[in-house]
Amino acid sequence: MSASYTQLPAFYDFLGEHPDYEKMAERILSIYEEKGAKESGLVLDLACGTGRLTCALLDRGADVIGTDLSPEMLMQARDTCSEKGHAPLLLCQDMRELDLYGTVDVTVCATNSLNYLESERDLEKVFSLVHNFLTPGGLFFFDINSLYKFEKLYGENTYVFESENAFCVWQNDYCREEQSCDFRLTIFERGQKNLYRRLEEEQRQQYFSPETVKNLLEKCGFALLSQGADIELRTAGDEDPDLFFVARCIK
């Protein structure tokens, strides 16, 4: 799996476009209720990152556990939730080694976190572990990057992001044969007396086809309920950057 974020967490939320976490949390809980779920369902936010979705779910009364590979990300998540008066259980875990104290009724893995897995074998392992810790009939929500996003939006493109106190150059290197993309981020953080500190971060994402995802879900004991371009599950087009899945745990 790609190395965990170390320098990036403090700047993650200003880089690029992010989903509407409030809308996503609302829709996840709505779908959960529509499918005859338990009233007091426990939610796992897998690869929770800076905790913005975790916090949005907590704001709506959900009981949430957050896990992430990066201690730095979890520190950001703790601060994000603390600002709203929340103190969820946050666990530092590689998703391929997920180990909870009990079962959950919903698992969410958002913002294309599964694309950081290196192989189909890793993806299968994560699906199997999620299945293991979901209650019978529990729901699994997740999204992945489309091939269009890898080839056109990532590709060999370079992006620049700027905030009041930071400047980031994001360079992509897409390998068509392996369908993977390497990211090289150079961040300049403004400090005292307008002096800048340079930080470096390297990451990699792997493409997984919708067919592969569906086959592995079935193999690991899930029934695919819905697939779409976003949390509203609208029909995906050729130029949609993401694919969103909802699956039910069968036991």
> Rounded mean pLDDT of 70-83?
93
Percent over 70 (pLDDT), the chain: 91
218: domain CATH number is 3.40.50.150
Would residue 15 count as lying in a domain?
A: yes
Q: What is the mean pLDDT of the chain?
A: 91
Q: Do 120 and 39 belong together in one domain?
A: yes
pLDDT confidence of residue 251: 87
Going by C-alpha positions, the residue among 79, 73, 51 that lies closest to residue 5 is 73
Residues 80 and 201 in one domain: no
Average pLDDT, stretch 139-157?
Answer: 97
Contact 122, 152 (CB under 8 A): no
**Residue numbers of the domain that contains 214:** 9-145+208-249
User: Residue 42 — very low, low, confident or very high, per pLDDT cuts 50/70/90?
Assistant: very high
Tens of pLDDT, residues 182-221: 999 898 888 887 888 888 889 999 999 999 999 999 999 9
Same structural domain for residues 65 and 173?
no
Per-residue pLDDT at 45: 98
- Rounded to 10 deg, the angle between the 52-59 and 71-82 helix axes is 30
State the average pLDDT over residues 150-169.
Answer: 90
Whether 60 is in a domain gets the answer yes
pLDDT at 37: 66
The more confidently predicted of residues 19 and 223 is 223
Number of domains in the chain: 2
Same domain, 196 and 232: no
Q: What angle, 0 to 180 degrees and rounded to 10, lies between the N-to-C axes of helices 210-219 and 120-133?
A: 40
- Measure the CA–CA gap between 143 and 19, rounded to whole angstroms: 11
Tell me, what CATH number does 162's domain have?
2.20.25.110
Contact present, 153 and 181 (Cβ < 8 Å): no
Average confidence (pLDDT) over 145-171: 91
Is 16 a residue whose pLDDT tops 80? no
Q: Tell whether 46 and 16 lie within a shared domain.
A: yes
Each as own residue / partner, the long-range contacts of residues 20-23 (CB below 8 Å, 24 or more positions apart, any chain) are 21/52, 21/53, 21/55, 21/56, 22/56, 22/59, 23/231
Domain assignment present for residue 2? The answer is no
- Give 91-146 pLDDT, tens digit per residue: 999 999 999 999 999 999 999 999 999 999 999 999 999 999 999 999 999 999 99
CB 55 within 8 A of CB 27: no
So what's the pLDDT on residue 195? 84
What pTM value is reported for the model? 0.92
Same-domain status, 156 and 32: no
Q: What is the pLDDT of residues 133-143, one digit of tens each?
A: 999 999 999 99
For residue 9, is pLDDT > 60? no
Residue with token string 């896990």: 67
Classify residue 184 by burial, with Cβ atoms within 10 Å: 0-12, 13-18, 19+.
middle
Give the per-residue pLDDT at 14: 54
Q: Could you tell me which of 20, 4, 246, 212 has the C-alpha nearest to residue 134?
A: 246
